[in-house]
Amino acid sequence: MGITLCYRGANELLASLTIAPTLVSRIKEAQQEDGELWAILQKAKDDLQSNFRVNDKGIIWFSNRLCVPDNPELKKAVMSESYNSLFSIHPGSTKMYRDLKQYFWWNGLPKNQRRPDAIWVVVDRLTKSAHFLPIQETYPVSKLSDLFQREIVRLHGTPVSITSDRDPRFTSRF
């Protein structure tokens, strides 16, 4: 995964330059220290359907994506490397997200005291505004309705209709 450039004279090597991907090296070093990432990998060993693996160089991968440990400086380096690359264009944040997602994997939700494990996206089709509400997948409908009242109804009023693309509990029990 490196490039070696050699300059040879008549009978001897005059100069050699090896270019190694320092970002990958930094990610590999940080992976060794990230206990949460290794815990995910251990759980994945029990699951035959899991896509987590460790290659022969000791680097953790999720399918064909490099696992980035929970290190803010490293995540920032990955993002700035992608943003500042001379080989990429910047048509918008969605394109950049899709490009990064193709090559890198990391846990998406930051840890906090309430420990949300999902994001509830509520879109007002009239104003085209979106609300991203951190929730836990185990929240009962009563807690979701309270959250809906507190965060959505207070701003937009009571909706005439609700369209849900995932869970029928939102429309059936509201």
> What is the per-residue pLDDT across 109-167, written as a single tens digit (0 to 9) for each?
555 566 777 788 888 777 777 888 888 878 888 888 898 889 888 888 888 877 766 56
pLDDT score at 113: 60
The DSSP symbol for 107 reads -
The DSSP symbol for 122 reads E
pLDDT score at 31: 92
Taking the C-alpha atoms of residue 66 and residue 97, their distance in angstroms, rounded to an integer, is: 15
121 DSSP β-pair partners: 132
pLDDT single digits (tens) 65-120: 999 998 888 888 888 877 776 656 655 656 777 778 888 888 775 555 667 777 88
Confidence of residue 10 (pLDDT cuts 50, 70, 90): confident
pLDDT single digits (tens) 17-34: 777 668 888 899 999 988
